[in-house]
């Protein structure tokens, strides 16, 4: 019940948008009860992250390393984008969650089988953290919707007298981030997926270099 209440607060306000006092009020209980059953706020946040991972239905039987990573990380993009602040927490604290271990182990195993060798762990981490960083960037944009955010950039690009074709093309993209919340969310998820695919492209090219060097 404690973790479910914290998860609901995170969906409503973001992970940094609620306090332990808010959690006790939601549950009509005391801090001592939460500390006894789960722990301090850091442990509650870790349990929230673990619960989100537990909601993801991942197919870990894929034999191809790229397809497996694409599936795992696409699911992370879809789920963690709905809980503002959770990607930032993971970047700051690392993947301290039991629910993440099976997907991490499967991804790393496929990469080792594919020939990544000693670069497997760092390559996997780069792909994982790239996705988290893109999600965190979207969270920041969502909380910075004023004149200094994307709306400010749109105004600058649209009104600057020296704006040429390059600026106009950037303006086309920026406009997706100043529409309705649904439009902004869709645009951000698409950007996350694009970053994932280009990261995997680079990893595939690097794997070819590793394989050729081992011949």
Q: Is 152 exposed, middle or buried (0-12, 13-18, 19+ CB in 10 A)?
A: middle
Distance CA 142, CA 133 (A): 14
Q: State the residue range of the domain holding 33.
A: 1-55
Mean pLDDT across 21-48: 95
Closest CA to 155 of 165, 141, 167, 166: 167
Please answer whether residues 73 and 196 qualify as being in contact, where contact means their C-beta atoms are separated by less than 8 angstroms.
yes
pLDDT in tens, 82-138: 999 999 999 998 877 788 889 999 999 999 999 999 999 999 999 999 999 999 988
Average pLDDT of the chain is 89
CATH of the domain at 125: 1.10.357
Please answer whether residues 41 and 85 qualify as being in contact, where contact means their C-beta atoms are separated by less than 8 angstroms.
no
Q: Is residue 131 domain-shared with residue 202, that is, in the same domain? A: yes
Question: What pLDDT score was predicted for residue 147?
Answer: 47
Question: What pLDDT score was predicted for residue 142?
Answer: 62
Q: Is residue 67 domain-shared with residue 24, that is, in the same domain? A: no
Q: Is residue 120 domain-shared with residue 135, that is, in the same domain? A: yes
Q: Is residue 86 domain-shared with residue 170, that is, in the same domain? A: yes
Q: Is residue 6 domain-shared with residue 73, that is, in the same domain? A: no
Q: The pTM is what? A: 0.83
Q: Give, in order, the Cα–Cα distances in Å from 164 to each of 158, 172, 177.
A: 10, 13, 21
Running DSSP on this structure, what letter comes out for residue 180? -
Which residue pairs, CB below 8 angstroms and at least 24 apart, start in 149-153? Answer: 150/174, 150/177, 150/178, 151/178
Q: Is residue 84 domain-shared with residue 177, that is, in the same domain? A: yes
pLDDT in tens, 152-193: 777 777 777 777 788 777 777 777 767 777 887 888 899 999
144 has pLDDT over 60 = no
Q: Is residue 18 domain-shared with residue 81, that is, in the same domain? A: no
First-to-last C-alpha distance (Å) of the chain: 56
Q: Is residue 86 domain-shared with residue 154, that is, in the same domain? A: yes
């Amino acid at each position: 019940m404690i973790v479910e209440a914290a998860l609901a607060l995170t969906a409503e306000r973001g992970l940094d948008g609620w306090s332990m006092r808010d959690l006790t009020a939601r549950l009509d209980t005391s801090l001592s009860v939460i500390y006894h059953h789960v722990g301090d706020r850091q442990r509650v946040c870790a349990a929230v992250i673990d619960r989100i991972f537990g909601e993801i239905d991942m197919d870990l039987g894929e034999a191809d390393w790229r397809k497996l990573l694409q599936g795992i990380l696409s699911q992370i993009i879809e789920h963690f984008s709905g809980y503002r602040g959770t990607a930032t927490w993971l970047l700051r604290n690392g993947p301290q969650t039991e629910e993440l271990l099976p997907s991490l182990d499967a991804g790393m195993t496929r990469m080792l089988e594919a020939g990544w060798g000693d670069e497997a762990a760092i390559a996997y981490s780069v792909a994982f953290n790239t996705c988290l960083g893109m999600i965190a960037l979207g969270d920041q944009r969502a909380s910075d919707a004023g004149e200094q955010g994307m709306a400010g950039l749109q105004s600058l690009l649209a009104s600057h007298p020296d704006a040429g074709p390059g600026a106009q093309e950037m303006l086309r993209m920026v406009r997706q981030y100043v529409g309705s919340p649904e439009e902004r969310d869709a645009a951000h998820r698409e950007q996350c997926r694009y970053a994932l695919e280009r990261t995997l492209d680079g990893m595939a090219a690097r794997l070819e270099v590793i394989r050729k060097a081992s011949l």
